[in-house]
Amino acid sequence: MRKYFVQSLLRTLVVLAAIVLVSTSAISKVRAEQLPQVPVPGMVTMVDLGAKQCIPCKLMAPIIEELVKEYQGRAAIVFIDVWDNPDAGPKYGLRAIPTQIFYDAKGLEISRHEGFMDKKSIVAVLQQQGVK
């Protein structure tokens, strides 16, 4: 009787482990598909990596929204929430949030900044790359 119970328990654990692996894989794929392509091919790109609940990130949100509108078609301004997309932290080598990473039109990282960054400083980096 005890042997039957142990075998049944082991089968149940194997099934549960398989379910967890499949669902974790599906979650990772959904998150990865949600991430925008960065850098944007052929465009100067600024990616702001932060979180919607982080205080300095909240202070930067209106700045990022303005820049998205002002630079539409001339430069790519992208926000990635690293709390919603935990794979982004390791992918971009984050040590703190917010972090802003700037790429030239060839896709090479040209600059990185950690912490709050004001609009004037962001615009200066974009202008250094020839974005008017």
Q: How far is CA 4 from CA 1, 9, 57, 78, in A?
A: 5, 9, 56, 56
> b vs e for 64-89, b when ≥16 Cβ sit within 10 Å of the residue's Cβ?
beebeeebeeebbbbbbbbeebeebb
Paired with 50 in beta bridges are 81
Helix (H/G/I), strand (E/B), else coil: 59: helix
Distance CA 82, CA 34 (A): 12
Kindly list the catalytic residues: 54, 57
